[in-house]
Structure 1
C-alpha cells in the first residue's frame, strides 16, 4: 500500500510545481499561499501514510495483505472496530456545527451558543458508553 503514500507525494510535487508557476505568472500572495498550504497538506498526509504502513509491515513481519499478489479477500477478515448502532450524538454534533457556521454569518451570540452546543454534544458522544445502561 505504499502506492497510497507515493500518490500523496506526487500530489505534493504537482502542487509545488503549480505553486511556482502560479507565483511567476500572477505575483498573487493569496493563491500562492493557498497552493503552498496544499503542498504541505499533501506532503503531511503522504508522510503519515508512508510511515504508518512501514510500521504496520514491521509489526506484521512482512507486507500487508493488500500488497500480497496471492492474497485472498478473507485475509482482511476480522475485527474492524466498534460502531454504535443507535447513537443520536453524531446528529447533535452535526447540528451544533451547523449552528456554529450560522453564527459566523449572523452574529456572535449564535456563534457562542453553537460553541456551547458543540462542546456539550462532543462530550456526550465521547462519554456515551461511560454512564447509564451501556456503561462498561
Structure 2
C-alpha cells in the first residue's frame, strides 16, 4: 500500500499543479475546469491519505510482497447486506438531485432531504432492528 499511496500523492501533486497552471493560463476566468482539476488533485490526496492510514493499521499487504500471488487477496473484505433497499433509494435521491439542478431548486431540496434520509438509513441499518450488532 505504500507504493499505491506514493503514486496517489504524486498524481494529486500533478493535478494541483496543473489546475494552478491552467488557472494562470486562462487568467482565472474559466470557473468550470479550474475547480474540477483542483478537486481531482484533492481527491487523489484523500485516497493517498487513506492508503497511508490503512497501511499504518494493517502493515504489509499482499500487494507489497514481491513474491505475492493473486490468491493472497482471498478473504472477507467487509459486511454487505444483499437484502438492503437503502442503496436503491439513495440512487433515486441522487437522480432527483441532478434533475433538480435542471428543473428547479425546490426539486433539488427534496432530493437532498431524501439523500440524507437514505444515507443515514444505509449507515445505521446494522445498528437497529433484526440485524443489529
User: Which entry has the higher C-alpha Rg, 1 or 2?
Assistant: 1
Deviates more, 1:83-92 or 1:24-33: 24-33
Distance (Å, rounded) in 1 between the aligned partners of 2:23 and 2:117: 44
Pairs within 5 Å for 1:45-60: 45-57=47-59
Distance (Å, rounded) in 1 between the aligned partners of 2:89 and 2:123: 12
Deviates more, 1:110-119 or 1:94-103: 110-119
Quote the offset at 1:76 in angstroms.
Answer: 3.0
| SS of match in other structure, 1:104 | helix
Select the structure that is richer in helix: 1
Quote the offset at 1:104 in angstroms.
Answer: 2.4
- CA change 1:50–1:96 in 2 (3 A) is same
- CA change 1:53–1:26 in 2 (3 A) is same
Deviations, residues 55-112 of structure 1 (Å, cap 9, x unaligned): 321xxxxx32222223344433332221112222211111111112212221232223
Distance (Å, rounded) in 1 between the aligned partners of 2:110 and 2:100: 8
Pairs within 5 Å for 1:1-136: 1-29=1-29, 30=31, 31-57=33-59, 63-129=60-126, 130-131=128-129, 133-136=130-133
User: Unaligned stretches of 5+ in structure 2?
Assistant: none
Distance (Å, rounded) in 2 between the aligned partners of 1:24 and 1:113: 38
Size of the aligned set, in residue pairs, is: 130
Distance (Å, rounded) in 2 between the aligned partners of 1:127 and 1:39: 31
The TM-score normalised by the length of structure 2 is: 0.72
